[in-house]
Structure 1
């Protein structure tokens, strides 16, 4: 059993030495993180292959390459992020100076999921290191090989009093949640996110919750259908749909449905072949319970394409599911797999009204050429982030914050936003000793009348 109190105590003592505060220290650790990824690259490819059957191409584009970009971006901008910010002030504060200091929270716990077990464990670490914190990483027990390798890599690269990995399942996570970390960063389901937030509240620990939800993709009648099909198929079936920002379901204008479905079928064949279950690079479902859950959704509508399964390999073909409505079980929860339900619409206003009545998703994707319709969707629907005429690509831009809203999450990270997530903005006012404005003090005859004039 993990001794969470001992781990936190050791990291807290180390943090209080001030070792993590300097620019030089943070820069050194970021560079060590990058060197670590290069050193263990072949082992990481192998672990991701064993856990999820990821090809080198998918492992690089969705995990390792993404991390290199994040680290390089932090290295380039760290000095600027750490600068003390001078602020303006009102006339009542003449003679003083005001600043914002970005200070680290202290001791951070990062709870990572299994679907992108390296990227989603280490991308928050980049921000935590840049902000000057110590880190405890709790990887998912479902990504067995990656979790084991992550522990080995971190142990061989960093001192445990600065960064360490705790393996295990629910029991170990609960033990870690019993101790008062200074910040908790969780990526996973909304159901578990609520439990994490509840436990964090016992210590008034701030949290970032990167959750999910049913992210829609909308294809309007004026969209570039061929390109929309290509980008939807890529975004939906990457990692076999086990992506928090994957298009969860498709809303397509009735005028272009047949054309879009035909184009999507063609793209599935082009990406994965006529028999995806025989494709050596096709991603498997993480475990049997999740496989059985997804398999059950296949009977919730009419299969237009795909639908074949391999229980031994834990694989489900990229599947297009028609004749689905809002009451179908597949539409009641996030799918998180290679099944795309399709529904049609006649007017975009009806789509907006439907979306407004449901939980806010982590992502939304709109395909259409008309700027007026694009702006209508952006203005009148609430979601964490998204794309116009694309899917997934927004999360690969380190200049953009990535996070949810409402049921899809709290807080954001990536790039500068990761640094800010793990930093407390400490306000400082430096007052002069040369003169003292008497208006704030009681007892003067004109104090009230002058103060009222200045402050109203």
Structure 2
């Protein structure tokens, strides 16, 4: 259910990589660049053949992706267990089922999505055919994330395939077993000329970004997102960025505290907290704080037992670098409960922090781990003011039985998504868009929104060449009567009623 995460500094890796190339192996950069360019050339040639434009071809590819997931579900489960000690339940629900639903939604609606979208006309186009034709943009580069490596690769890929594009997929190298499985399976199921999976042999991310693609999609951290956008700007390439942020969660006095605690704890600690849609911090009245902490602690014991380290339902950090970064955040504020770590297992216990300061490091970066700070506010206005200071996040959450409170927070804040009385569940709805705003991202995807994102909306006007009953009025020499007639033919009325008829 994640849509982005902070990746361990690819810029630093690239600097080290360049030094290694220049001093130890001057051939490697050329060879890896050539491999990537070769894949790009194959994709461009395949797109030029126009076979991806056909409905039957797109449908076959979508059905093949669905078949791959159905046939190899347990292999994906095993791969993520090795990468993150991910429980099978979480992998099947948030990865396999989510992607299968996305593929089925596209299969069921593809024909309708591909149909021309007819538009309203005015008097000058009364005899014409006016419509918008959705065309594929070309070769799409998709850079997937590591926190949910199957869905962050395959959900955008499904949208790009449905829209008729060729795809070059770059999964994260952090979840190595899952990436290796995608690299092995995808060419066995989809057209090997149109769809390619890059691995480390094809070069580092920044090296891959140097090439010219027709569209670039990236789900990850802001720093790398800026690098993707800079690379896209060199070639004026359109780009979608699904980035993270500080997702606030307001808990109102009127809500069912036990229910709120269960839904917040689930969202924050599922996948060991490595989820960019999870609540990043809680805002509640000072009178609620102690009771809410007790409820959250009870939820953790209910979910994972007295020692979550022993629970088969609790995962681990995806990498040593991710573990070290999140562990360092435990120095902020005071630990209300949790806080235990194990370097050997990359284990961090579900943790709630109090007395955190707004300028602490944990409030300056996305957590992406099982840590949840709690702040107190005295009024709803104080909570809204606090939220606005942190920029526009990927999601805003509000728990309240007062519909006016919910409406007030929704209307006074801005975010990629909004959810009341639950957390993260909006990501399960294929018909809802996913994406950020401002610092949390550019563009949206999921379902029809993915199809539109990876399509070019081509304006089409098919004119009648034999009738000049109106169009002759535009020709010189100009006279005032012609101008008045043209204004009458072209100008919309305030209620647009006759346009609706046409």
2:482 matches 1:450: no
Aligned to 1:393: 425
Cα contact 2:143–2:170 (8 A) shared by 1? yes
Name stretches of at least 5 consecutive residues in structure 2 with no aligned partner. Answer: 1-31, 492-502
Query: Could you say which residue in structure 2 is the equivalent of 1:30?
Result: 62
CA contact (8 A) 1:128 1:419 kept: yes
* Contact 1:355–1:381 (8 Å) recurs in 2: yes
Aligned-partner Cα distance in 2 for 1:187–1:70: 17
Q: Is the 8 A contact 1:139 1:167 kept in 2?
A: yes
Give the CA deviation at 1:202.
Answer: 0.6
3-state DSSP class of the match of 1:71? helix
Q: Which residue of 1 aligns with 2:174?
A: 142
Distance in 2 between residues matched to 1:19 and 1:26, nearest whole Å = 9
Structure 1 residue 452: Cα displacement: 4.0
Distance (Å, rounded) in 1 between the aligned partners of 2:62 and 2:203: 31
Structure 2 residue 135 is the aligned partner of structure 1 residue 100: no
1:450 positional shift: 2.8
Of residues 252, 271, 276, the one that matches 1:220 is: 252
For residues 392 and 281 of structure 1, the distance between their equivalents in structure 2, rounded to whole angstroms, comes to: 18
- Structure-2 separation of matches of 1:240 and 1:261: 19
SS at match of 1:20: helix
CA shift digits 1:40-66 (9 cap, x unpaired): 212111100000101110110111111
Shift, 1:147, TM fit: 0.6
Conserved 8 A contact 2:270-2:314: no
Superposition TM-score, scaled by structure 2 size: 0.89
Decide whether the 8 Å contact of 1:277 with 1:309 is kept in 2: no
1:439 equivalent in structure 2:
473
Deviates more, 1:34-43 or 1:300-309: 34-43
Q: For 2:377, which of 335, 339, 345 is the aligned residue?
A: 345
Matched, 1:275 2:343: no
Please give the alpha-carbon distance, in whole angstroms, between the structure 2 residues aligned to 1:274 and 1:86. Answer: 60
Residue in structure 2 matched with residue 206 of structure 1 by the alignment: 238
- Spell out the pairing of 1:37-436 with structure 2 (5 A cutoff): 37-168=69-200, 171-436=203-468
Contact 1:403–1:413 (CA<8 Å) still a contact in 2?
Answer: yes
TM-score normalised by the chain length of structure 1? 0.97
CA distance in 2 between counterparts of 1:393 and 1:373 reads: 20
* Per-residue CA distance 1:319-362 (angstroms, 9 max, x = gap): 00011121222111111100000001111111112222222100
Q: CA deviation at 1:90?
A: 1.8
Question: How far, CA to CA, are the matches of 1:287 and 1:29 in structure 2?
Answer: 33
- Corresponding residue for residue 7 of structure 1: 39
Q: Is the 8 A contact 2:338 2:349 kept in 1?
A: yes
CA distances 1:164-188 after superposition (whole Å, capped 9, x unpaired): 1101299432232121111111000
- The 1-side partners of 2:484 and 2:189 are apart by 65
By how many angstroms is 1:160 displaced?
2.8
Q: Give me the whole-angstrom Cα distance separating, in 1, the residues matched to 2:40 and 2:324.
A: 38
Q: 1:170 and 1:164, CA in 2 relative to 1: closer, same or farther beyond 3 A?
A: closer
Give, in angstroms, the shift of residue 254 of structure 1: 1.9
Partners in 1 of 2:387 and 2:354 — Cα distance?
19
In structure 1, the residue corresponding to 2:435 is in which secondary structure?
coil
- The residue number in structure 1 matching 2:49 is 17
Hey, what's the Cα distance between the residues in 2 that align with 1:358 and 1:247?
Answer: 13
Higher relative contact order (CA 8 A, sep 6+): 2
Q: Distance in 2 between matches of 1:442 and 1:242?
A: 66
